[in-house]
Structure 1
Amino acid sequence: MKGHKINLRIKNILQIICNENDYITTAKIAKDLDVSGRTVLREIHDVEKFLNQNGLKLDKKTGVGIKVIGSLREKQIIVNLLNGEKDETIYSPLERKNIIISELLQNQEPVKLYNFTRTLKVTEATISNDLEKTDEWFKKHSLNLIRKQGLGVYVEGKENHIRKAMVSLIYENTNESQLLNLIRQNLDNSVVVAKDIEDSSRNRLLNLIDNETIRKIEVLIEDMEKERNYKLVDSAFVGLIVHIALAIERVKKGDKITIDHEFLKELKRSAEYLIASDLSINISRCFEVEIPEDEIGYITMHIKGSKNYKEKYKTGNKIIGSFELIKLSKEIIKTAEIETGKFLGNNEDLLNGLVNHLGTAITRLKMKLDIRNPLLEEIKTNYTDLMKTSTKCAKVVEKHIGIKMPEAEIAFIAMHLGAAIENSETLIKPIYRVAIACATGMGTSRLLAIRIENEYDNIQIVDIISTIHIAESFLKENEIDFIISTVNIEKCFKPVVIVNPLLFKEDKDKIANQIKNFQNTNIKHSWNKNKKIKFKDKLISLNIYSEAIIQILDNFFLKEIPEMSSVDALIIEASKAIEKDSETTEKIRMALESREKKGNTVVTGHEMILLHCRTDIVQKLYFGAVKLSKGLECLNGEGKIENIKLGIIMLAPEECSALQIEVIGYVSKMLIERVDFLKYLKDGERDYAFNELNDILKEFYKQKVNN
């Protein structure tokens, strides 16, 4: 790459403007980077200099914005180069604060300010200002920040408060799914840190927990689950690993936690103590460290507070019985009815949900374990009335257990009530009849359909169609209100909403706006799920389904490629896997590339690209995958770089029936819903993947037979 060394901020600005086809204002760039507009303007000179040195120009228009002048390919080359460029890290104030807190929590000895100025590349005055902010954070966690002239800074407080602060710091900066991804990667001996924990300040936070320690603990907990037939939910699984990992590090340093003697005696009488005790013995052997009784008590508390109450009204919780939980839940529902004016008394799902949730929540509150709700801020901001209602409902529980309910728990109650209230309202809501469309009708549209079905009770998906086969007569006959498509549709007789297949927030806003447009119209549809099909027609359909299933199984392939330079190169390899004849291979390549130009097919967040098309080159259905051993960096639907580990290839004849498309579309849908299926494909396990595919198609066929 030509040009001088660039810092992270210049690199980020370059990536934003190179990924933008139109003019973009410095204010928008500043908002995206969470800096001031003046800061962006200061960097523009170096941004322009860098572009000039690399053969591109920066066009600046007052009141309009800035734009990179160059072809899409030239801009992509710059983006690719930037991704390989090592930059000088500039930490934001929040990142500096988190790094300082992390270092102080880990160090028993005072830390000199010089250490922070050297690490964070800022002045001592800036560090002093940062320490003022960290002081507030430490006080919130019952810890004191001590600053001594000539000695340095350090944290003072009880061991259990220090550990709680460590856990809070981790959860404030990484959510449970990110931590779970990191833990899973450690188990797979992955060298690369999870993509969504990629900035250096977060990596430093994760130094609170040793990677090798995480890997070993995960194995021990999974062994415990198998031996005891005791399955932890993901949030509890992550929480227990974090707790044990921190405990091991602290015990090794001689920092031991204490627990009330009488409470420990009570814990020892529980079945969970035996589990914790066995787990502690294995931890001691594995890490060559003695786990004291008090530590076993804390592990017991985590296991007790992580029970997954799946059985209706059933709880093994000794702190509060099932009858009391039902009574409490009914009181909450009654309070909610008074506050909202909605009748919820007959909602069995709401009652069952509250009973199951409160069992675990009250256990955690009684044992002073933290309750975390990742949606807390969103609920407080967007559902203020519901939070007020839930706060009044929470007083029912507070009165019973004598403990104030934290906001996170009130937000959980709000989520249960919100779902129930929404369901009660959908009984009188109009139903909107929708067709889901993509370029082929078998790939990204199926993924989108899953999201729509899960997200909306008032949208009925009438059909999943190809954009090239949209007929005005079909839309009229099926009373379609609007179309939700993954690609642009030039001319259409009905309104079209273009969204990403994974349905991000901005996509939901588009759908909401479209629904608002119908509010003044008299739309009255009803669900017709039980439409009867004649026996003869059903047999014909089953025959088509059978034929399609056999084709997919016969033509399945899984190929592994060590290295891949581009999506175009991946398409070439995929085409060769389907057909050996060079002329036919070339035609398949052209068909796949043509589809790819119509819209991005990277499945964001799943390390996968969905290459698919309908073409007259093939006469049968094809489903297969190409495993990319070293990965392939591509732009996803959000315009961000994503490391692709798997290329999914699906082909169908140009004139194949809707029933055939339904079969292969169902397989693409299962890529998201069947975790094992995707895992086996990514791991290159052909036989296991084929067995999963076989089960998926068997399941599909059974559904059709029984309908």
Structure 2
Amino acid sequence: MNKLALKQSPQTLTDQILKFILTKKVVHYSDLMDYTGCSRKTIAKYLKQAEVVAARYQVSLIRKRGHGIYLAGDQSALLANIGVTAPYQQESEEERRLDILTMLIKLEKPILLDDLAEHFYISHSTLERDLRVLKKEYNLQYQSTNSGIQFVGLEKDKRMLLGKVLQKYWGQKVTQSLKTGQMRRNFTVPANFFQYVDKETLHQAQQAMQEFAELVNININEYQYESLLIHITIAFQRIKKGEFLSKGEEHQAPALIAQHTTKLVEILTRIFKCEIPQAEVAYLNIHVMAIEDGYINLDGPDSLRPKLVKWLKNSLREYDEELLKNLGLHLIPALSRIQQGVFISNPYLDKIKTNFPVAFDKSLELALELQKEFSVRLPENEIAYLALHFESFIERSQVKLHEVRIAIVCSTGYGTAALLKQRIQEKLPTLEIVATLSVAELIDAAPAADLVVSTIPLKLQGTAVMTVSPFLSEKELELLQITANRIQKDKYARHAFASLLSPTCIITKTKAANKEEAIVQITQRMVAAGFVEEQMTQSALDRERLASTVINEIAIPHGDLKNVKKPVIGIMTSATGIKWGKDTIYTVFFVALNRQVEDEMDDIYSYFYEVIQNGAMLRKLRTAQTVEAVITLLSD
């Protein structure tokens, strides 16, 4: 058997020894010493206690030289009752799995699955299921051989696993001192978790973090504070037991130790009253540097933020400035954390996946693109946090779609304008009035509105105008409602079309000389982005041979919808023209739709027809220099 070295109460250890003997039938001192990690003298003491417990159920504990240690008598009552007081029978599935995880971390040799299952009094299939759950939830790595299974990893990997356990189960509350009025964080863990986290160590770690946070001039957010506190707690619990990081485990540690790290080490040395090895200092430095990277460099001259925002614009199908800002603020420290091996938990993971599936899918797509661009794999917890930003964006977009923005222009003074505004708000409350202007104010700056309601005749470029009387008759109200409904329908259609545009499937200034080159180029771009199958290229070429898809100076090629994985409209532009059979075209719209957008198909094609009949827009498209310019033209 294997040395367990589990910290247990005397009663618990006595019960475990009895259960071990009940399972193995006959054992020896060496088996019990190996099983418990206790000395022969300590085992003898616990056997005396076990003998007393067994006697209560008319069972004798026999120690016979040359034969071993075993139980005599009817053991059914003992087995039934010892199960009630034994810890593993009282544990939940999750607690048992955590015990399995910590046991595997502590074992120095492989352990047979049968022995592991017997130790926890579970079946072989239950153990295998527990191991699968641990691998999925905590990324537990182990290897299986003829000798059994054994944890695979270094000391830093053990700490990372224990940190994930701690992070999942501890709670935080903020308290205010009655004397000073100062606000302080206070972290606690459930009582049954003190076998994994020593209460005194956690208290000392919190004391150190509070001093550190007050001393340094860094805004430490919740993720960073929690991650560093977990690391300190786990690290010093391991250090107290003589478990140190070996040289080379610092995980890409910077050559120079940050000034803030030096301050933290001084605080920890004083509070824990021990010297901290250099490898441990280097690992602490990683966490401190992750905090500094996420805070100091955010808006500095070498900031990653502008580059990241530019990349996000080219990678996202649709966005607004707030989404770009929020994703940037989250991703900069997140990328730093992950590159440094620092991970966070997300207690809302399952709820986010269940309640916001569309947002989570968008977040997952972005995570895949991030992995390609930055060679960093975002864990599911981080992806779920990003999904919250996407959900906010989706809800903002839906609100905007429902709103028709109106500006009121009145030449007879603010009194009349206020009356007109009040009447519209009362009769048509779904309309959003964004401005009330005089003629002079209108001349200075045109309002950002879908419709201008004016008491004087106006003619504006690109904005609908409705002329009404200052008192707004019932007939005018009815006409205003009809006009607003039409504008709203147009906005829906434009949004439905724009939602199918992906920066990865737009090519400007193409060098394609003919339709074959153009179709291959655009479809291969769509294949690489994961929107269509490889067969789409040949399908579109075959379709084009049957009949040309040219309309005026644009082409609308398409292939078999069975080759569409996700609906998208690919776009290709050329300022010089592409030879398309007998014609020359300047813009290609590759339409790849399927049943996923069946309910929106009318809106999509309604706006698409407006686009292809808009000569001015098509002329701007052919000369667009950037992907962003194409999306702006087709979305605004």
Is the pair's TM-score, using the shorter chain for normalization, greater than 0.5?
no
Q: Which has the larger radius of gyration?
A: 2
